[in-house]
Structure 1
Amino acid sequence: MPKKKVTVQVSGSGILQDDVLMLGASLLKQWKIPAGHPLQLAFGAFRQEVTVISVPKYDGMRIGQVLSRKTGISSGSVLRIKYSPRSRILHIGPLISVMISRDYPDQPDRPFGSITLFCRELVSACRQQGGAVYFFTPDDIENAQDRVQGWVYDNGWKKRVMPVADVVNNRLTSRKLENKPSVQHFLREVKSRHGTAVFNEKFLDKNEVFDALRSKTSLLRFMPDSHLLKNLSQFKKMCSAHPVLFLKPVRGSLGKGIIRVTRNPDGSYQTLATNVGGTRKQVYPNVTKLFEGISGKMKSTRYQIQQGVNLIENGQRPVDFRALVQKNSTGKWSVTSIVARIAGGSHYVSNLARGGSLSTVREAVAKSSLSPAAKSAAPGKLQTAALEIAAGIEEAIPAHFGELGIDLAIDTTGHVWLIEVNSKPSKNDNTPLNDSKTRPSVKKMLDYSGFLAGF
C-alpha cells in the first residue's frame, strides 16, 4: 500500500521555481509518479502544471514560496496524496473549508467565539490524519470564483487567500445568513464549477422532518403524534387525544419558546412556557380559551404540536438523549456519541442552555424506574433508532447531510421516541463525556471529508 501522507516543506526564496516541486524518491516509486515530466498539481480548486523532481532518501514534499502563496499551504502541513496516471493529476489534500456565521478579528485568540476550540481541534486532526482546513464567513465570499479569503492556523490564526476547497461543511447557525442570495449563489457555483461537496447544506424545520419520515413505515414506531398547528379544530382533537402536548416553534432551537400543555382532571388546561427567567405558568378554563391564549403567538411563529411522552426521570427531572450521528470514512452513517441530558430544576426541557446537565446513557438509565430488562436494552435501542432515523432523513429529504443531532426519548415502558433532528448540531452541547484532546466527532468529520474528496 503506497504511503498516503506527506509533510510539506516550503523552501526559501529563489531556491525552487514556481512550477517545480520536489518529492521523495520512494514516493515517486510507490505512486508511479513520473519525474522530470509535466503533470498537473491539484489542491482544492487550484490547478497548475508542475514538474516533479525526485529527491533520494527523503519522504516529504518541498514547494517554493510562490507555490506556497498560491495554494495557501504553509510549511509543516501534513497532506494526503494520490496520483492518477491516466489524467496525470497529482492530488494533495483534502482541502476542507468550514463556513461559519461570524468571526472576531479583534480577538486573535478566539476569532470564532465559542466554536474556536472546535476549529482548533479540526486543525490538529488535519495534522494527525493528513489534510488542510480553513474557516470563512459569508462576508468572505463576495465575488468569490475560485478563491476565498479564509482563516488558517499557522503559528496563530491568520487570514489568507485560499483556493475553493474540496469540501464545504456548512456550520452557519442562522437561517437568515444561510438564505442570503450571495451564500446560495456561492454554494451553487462551487458545486457546479469545481465539483465541491457541500454537506449539512440546510437547516431542518421540525415539522419538515416529521412529514418526511411519515413516509417510512419502519420509522413510525419512533414517532409521536405530531403536526403543524393550523386551527382550533385540529388543536381540540390533539388536546382530547393526549393529556400532555408540546408546542414547539418550527424553527426554534435551544429549547426557546416551547410550551407544555397539560389537561387537568377538571377539564381546565395548564401551560408552562420557557422564557429567559425560567418558566411561566398559566391556567385556562377550557380548550377554546387556551387556543385564544396562544393564537396571538401563532401570527408570528409557526408551531409544531406534538404528543407529550411520559419520559424516564432522574430525581424527578425528565431525561432525554442526544445522539450525534455522522458519516464515516466509507460514507456510512455511524453513531459517534449518545449522551443523556437531564432537565434543570425549573425546566422541563433538557438543553444545557436551559440549565440541563449531561450524564452517560447507562448512568441515566440506571437511575430511572425502568425494569432491569428495559435498562439493559436501552443503549442498543437508542443506537438503532438513531441510525435508522438518519438513514430515513437521507432518503426522504433532498439535501446532503454529513452529521445530524438526533434527540431521542425513552418512556417509562422503555419505548424509544424521536423528539427532533438538528442538522447543525452544537459543537458544545453534544460533547462526549471524556477528556480526549480531539473529540471523536471532529476526527469523524475529517474522515468523511476525506471520503468525499476521494482520499
Structure 2
Amino acid sequence: MKAKGDVLIGILTVRRPGTKSFRGNHENFRDICEMGRRLGLQVAVFPAEAMNGSEDRIEAYLDARRNGRRVWRKTTLPYPTVVYNRVPDRKTEVQPAVRQAKKKLAERGIPLFNQHFFDKKQLAAWLSGEPETAGYLPKTEEIRDLHHLEQWMEQSTLLYVKPVDGKAGDGILQVTRSGSGWPYRVVAQQNGKRTRMFYKTRQEAALAVWGRVQGQEYLIQQGIDLASWRERKFDLRMLVQKNSTGAWKVTGVGARVADRDGITTHVPNGGEIARARTTLRAAFGSAKGDAILVKARETALVFARTLEQSVQREGGLLGELSLDVGVDTAGELWFFEANAKPMKFDEPSIRAKSLMRLLRYCEFLSRTK
C-alpha cells in the first residue's frame, strides 16, 4: 500500500506538434491539479511520446504560478503510479506513440483507466446483449444500403442517422415525415450549424441522406418523442464515477434542453443547461418527476456496471463515464449515449464533486494495484 505522498497521478495526453505544449483541455487539467493540491496529491500531465524510451524519469508538466499567472512548468518525473487517459480524440488514440505508451504502462504494472473512447456500434453490441440494459435502447441498426434506409423511412415518422464515432451531436441527421405537401424533412447538423432540406418523396429524401453517409460508418436509430420544458425538448446528462473504495456512484445529473428547432440537446449545438429536477417536475409533476429522477440514477448505475464488465473483458479499467438518457412524453427512460471521456460538467456542485471523486479513485487504484 502506498502512502499519500508516494502517489503520483498522471494525466495522459500527447504533445502539440510544433509547440512546447500539449493537447487537451488545459482548463480541465488545471482544475484536476488544483484539487489534487487541496487533497495532498501530486498530479502531473504526461505526453505519451515521453514514454517511448527506456528512461525511468520522463517529461512531465506541473501546474505552477509565475508572476501571478498560472503556467505549465516542464520538468522530469518518475513514472506515475496511476494514469487517467485524456488523449483527446479517436484518431490520436490509435497513433503509434499512444499505443507504445499504453504498452509501457502495462509492462510497468501502472494502472491506466478509460483506455479508449466508446463508439456507438460497440455500445449497442455490448448493451443489447444484456437483459438489464437492452430494454432501454432505441431500435438501432448499422446502415447497409440505400434500400435499408428507405425501409426505415417508410416505417418511421421520426428517426436519426448518427456517425459511429460521432461527438457532441456533430454529423447527426434527423429525418421526419409529416402530412404536408413536402412531407420529408432532413436536418443535418455539423459544427454547430444546421441545414434543413425538404422533399416530396421518400426516395428523394433517402437519396439525400445516403449521399451524405455513403462510404462511412453510420447507424440509423429509432426517434424518441422526448418530454418538453418550456416547449423545448430535453434529456438528461449523468456523470457516474468510481469513488475512494472503487464503487460506482452517480456524481450528478443535469438536464440539457434543445433550442426550439434543435435536433439534439448538446450545448455546442445550441442546447442549454437546466436543473434535472426542475425540468422533470415541470414536465410530469412533482411526484412523478422525482420518481423518474430516482429511477434514472438507479439505471445509470446498472449501465455503468454493465459497461465496466464489457471493458474488463477486453482487459481494461473503467473509472468514469457520462450517460445521455432521454425521457419520453410518458416518462419512460431511453439510453442514447455513453462517453468514456466525459466533457466537464458546468454545474458547479457537480464539477467540484467530480474532481474530488476522480482523484480519490486514482488514490484507490494506487493503493490496490
Q: Residue 236 in 1 paired to residue 139 in 2?
A: no
1:420 partnered with 2:337: yes
Letter in 2 for 1:444: R
| 2:271 match | 356
Matched, 1:95 2:8: yes
**For 1:367, what is the secondary structure of its paired residue?**
helix
Query: Which residue is 1:53 aligned to?
Result: none
> Which residue does the alignment assign to 2:57?
147
Query: Which whole-Å CA distance do the structure 2 matches of 1:102 and 1:416 have between them?
Result: 41
Q: 1:418 to 1:294 in 2, by over 3 A?
A: same
Aligned to 2:297: 383
**Counterpart of 1:226?**
140
What SS is found at the alignment partner of 1:212? helix
Distance 1:112 1:439, change over 3 A: farther
Q: Hey, what does 2:193 align to over in structure 1?
A: 278
Residues 249/160 of structure 1: CA separation in 2 closer, same or farther (3 Å cut): same
1:442 aligns with 2:355: yes
Contact 2:14 2:23 in 1 (8 A): no
Please, what is the CA RMSD of the aligned residues? 2.5
SS of aligned partner of 1:417: strand
* Deviation of 1:172 (Å): 1.3
- The one of 156, 161, 171 equivalent to 2:86 is 171
Q: How much does 1:432 deviate? A: 2.5
Instruction: Report which structure shows greater RCO (CA 8 Å, sep ≥6).
Output: 2
Would the alpha carbon gap of residues 407 and 101 (structure 1) be closer, same or farther in structure 2, given more than 3 Å must change?
farther
Q: Give the AA of the match of 1:406.
A: L
3-state SS of 2:259 partner: coil
SS at match of 1:222: coil
Look up the match of 2:249. Answer: 334
Letter of the structure 1 residue corresponding to residue 88 of structure 2 = T
CA gap of 1:345–1:113, structure 2 versus 1, over 3 A, is farther
Larger radius of gyration between Structure 1 and Structure 2:
1
CA distance in 2, matches of 1:300, 1:152: 44
Whether the 8 Å CA contact 1:246–1:261 is kept in 2: the answer is yes
State how far apart, in whole Å, the 2-side matches of 1:387 and 1:432 are: 20
- Report percent identity of matched pairs: 28
Contact 1:229 1:235 survives alignment (8 Å): yes
In the TM superposition, residue 230 of structure 1 has moved relative to its aligned partner by: 1.4
Task: Indicate the residue corresponding to 1:138 in structure 2.
Answer: 48
Preserved CA contact (<8 Å) 1:93 1:130: no
Aligned equivalent of 2:69: none
Picking from 241, 249, 261, the partner of 2:163 is 249
> For the Cα contact (< 8 Å) 1:121–1:439, is it kept in 2?
no
Q: Judge conservation of contact 1:222–1:385 (CA < 8 Å) in 2.
A: no
Structure 2 unaligned regions, length at least 5: 67-71
1:119 aligns with 2:29: yes
Residue in structure 2 matched with residue 317 of structure 1 by the alignment:
232
Count the aligned residue pairs. 359
TM-score, normalisation: structure 1: 0.73
The structural deviation recorded for 1:99 is 1.3
What residue number does 1:47 align with?
none
Unaligned runs of 5+ in 1: 5-41, 43-79, 82-91
DSSP 3-state at the match of 1:254? coil
CA shift, 1:132, in A, is 1.2
C-alpha distance after superposition, 1:320-345 (max 9, x if no partner): 11101111111111111111011124
Q: 1:148 to 1:346 in 2, by over 3 A?
A: farther
Instruction: State which drifts further: 111-120 or 379-388.
Output: 111-120
Asked if 2 retains the 8 angstrom alpha-carbon contact of 1:350 and 1:356, the reply is yes
Alpha carbons 1:341, 1:356 under 8 Å: kept: yes
Amino acid at match of 2:36: C
- Alignment partner for residue 259 of structure 2, among 344, 363, 374? 344
Instruction: Deviation per CA, 1:385-432: give whole Å up to 9, x if none.
Output: 2111111111224232211011111011010110111111112xx232
Does residue 214 (structure 1) correspond to residue 128 (structure 2)? The answer is yes
Between structures 1 and 2, the one with greater helix share:
2
CA shift for structure 1 position 101? 4.4
Match of 2:365 in 1: 452
State the secondary structure of the residue aligned to 2:25. Answer: helix
Moved more, 165-174 or 114-123: 114-123
Residues 1:131 and 1:105: Cα distance change in structure 2 (over 3 Å): farther
On the 8 A contact 2:281/2:288 being kept in 1, the answer is no
- Comparing 268-277 and 400-409, the one that deviates more: 268-277
